A = this chain, B = another copy of it.
Amino acid sequence: MVYSKKKRQISVSIKDIANEAGVAISTVSNVINKTRYVTPQTKERVIESIEKLDYRPNIIARGLRIHSTNTVAVIVPDISSSFFSQVLDGIEEVARKRNYTLILGCTSFDYNEEKRITNILLNSFIDGFIFFSGFDNYELIKKIYDKNVPVISLDKDLGDCNIPTVVIDNFAAVESSVDYLCKFGHKKIGYISFTYDKQTTVRKRFEGYLSGLAKNNLEYDPDFVLISPQMRLHETTFTYETVKNFLKKGKIPTAFLTVADVFAFGLIRALKDEGFNVPKDVSVMGFDNILFCQFTDPLLTTVKQPKNLMGNIAMNLLLDIIEGKEISSKKIIIPTTIIERKSVAFAKKQ
């Protein structure tokens, strides 16, 4: 028996089991890990003792020996907003299935925090990292990668490098949204986004927008575009106010693309406030397909990011790498789809 300094954690060790069962500790270890043959009788005795004393192997002692604890760390900017928590859910799903435990590192979209957490976690204790970061944190990820600890970049395309990556095709997703709106006869298509310094994910969406316009022979009109640092995922007042002020300036397109469903929600509310009917007067498209798209009025047409799948794929890839399995591709691009609901209608004749 061992009593911790704080006289709290009282745990029974492999030694206790060996004593109880009258065998060597290596035998106990061997029955636990099935590392070599043990006669049924001794095995039996060991198992009985384990149950009797309610013994659980100390993972951390084992970890110290084998340099692995079946633990992976996930770095996320924010767990409370729908998109992140749903991807996290997908990650957790496979962690559980494949018997890993998950360490959560939250950064609040703060670069230094990201750095701090990574440094804390970067020791032999963690088997791998999923960087589902707020930024294209190349140096940090590279640092992990260079230390030969398995890491994958989720939702952020780091460009040409060997770091395993799981992303959606942000460019194509928005480009085809423009196509979609054009099919409904829209010629004036607005765009609402947050800013994207240090962030290719959202920048590529904007480029997709531009390309979509060009492809459909539509002119880019900056008056239809709102890209503001005020737009935040986990907050609503600013978003709503910002959009409202933007609308007050007067030039309103017949349809809007937004870069997140929550922005679409704020937009719809602001639009209604200003006396517009959605979608009769103005169509609105979201991005993400979070649960609440099914509760807005009108129901939101949006681009589905397969959030759960993203988490699944990223985690499976990471664990495959950790376990030394054959990897077919280090760069996985997951397709998005447009979910048609009620917030897009044909453009009014003008």
Determine how close the nearest CB of chain B comes to the CB of A247; give it in whole angstroms: 16
By the criterion CB–CB under 8 Å, are B124 and A58 in contact? Answer: yes
By the criterion CB–CB under 8 Å, are B106 and A103 in contact? Answer: no
Where chain A touches its partner, the secondary structure class is mixed
Return chain B residues, CB-CB under 8 Å to A57: 123
Q: State the oligomeric state as a number of copies.
A: 2
Interface residues in A59-95 (C-beta closer than 8 Å to B): 59-61, 63-64, 66-69, 71, 78-82, 85-86, 88-89, 92-93
- Chain A, 99-119, contact with B by CB distance < 8 Å: what is the 0/1 string? 001111110000001000101
Return chain B residues, CB-CB under 8 Å to A6: 67-68, 324
Determine how close the nearest CB of chain B comes to the CB of A129; give it in whole angstroms: 12
Q: Which residue of B lies closest to A125 (CB)?
A: B60
By the criterion CB–CB under 8 Å, are A4 and B67 in contact? Answer: yes
By the criterion CB–CB under 8 Å, are B297 and A11 in contact? Answer: no
Docked pose: A121 CA to B70 CA in angstroms: 12
Docked pose: A236 CA to B103 CA in angstroms: 29
Docked pose: A104 CA to B91 CA in angstroms: 11
Is A150 close to B, CB under 8 A?
yes
By the criterion CB–CB under 8 Å, are A89 and B79 in contact? Answer: yes
- Chain A, 196-238, contact with B by CB distance < 8 Å: what is the 0/1 string? 0000000000000000000000000000000000000010110
Return chain B residues, CB-CB under 8 Å to A39: none
Docked pose: A101 CA to B75 CA in angstroms: 12
Stretch from A133-141, A160-168, A181-189, A265-273 at the B interface: A265-273
Given A80-B85, A295-B296, A58–B9 Cβ distance below 8 Å? no
By the criterion CB–CB under 8 Å, are A295 and B324 in contact? Answer: no
By the criterion CB–CB under 8 Å, are B294 and A297 in contact? Answer: no
Is A292 close to B, CB under 8 A?
yes
Return chain B residues, CB-CB under 8 Å to A104: 92, 101-104
